[in-house]
Amino acid sequence: MKTEGLTNELTPAKALAELDAAVAELSTNRATTLYLMRCVQTIAAVLPKEPQAEPKKQDE
C-alpha cells in the first residue's frame, strides 16, 4: 500500500478509492478479495454524495 503523498485532505471518496486499491493489492485469496470488495461497495452505497464545489459568494 502506498503511503507517500497522503494529505489531510482525504475525502470519503478518496478514502474509499484508496481502500479499494489496498484491498486489491493486499489480498491474494479470491474469496477474501470478493468479501472485502463487497464490504467496500456496501460502504460506498451509504456514503453521502460529495457536493459539487459551489461558487464563492462575495460579501458586499
Residues in the chain: 60
Where does the pLDDT of residue 57 fall: very low under 50, low under 70, confident under 90, or very high at 90 and above?
low
Q: At what angle do helices 30-46 and 12-26 cross, to 10 degrees?
A: 170
Output the pTM of the full model: 0.42
C-alpha cell at 29: 485469496
Q: What are the pLDDT digits (tens) for 2-54?
A: 555 555 677 778 878 887 777 777 767 777 778 888 888 888 888 777 665 55
- Domain parsing of the chain, residue ranges: 12-46
What gap in Å lies between CA 33 and CA 23, rounded to an integer?
7
What gap in Å lies between CA 31 and CA 41, rounded to an integer?
15
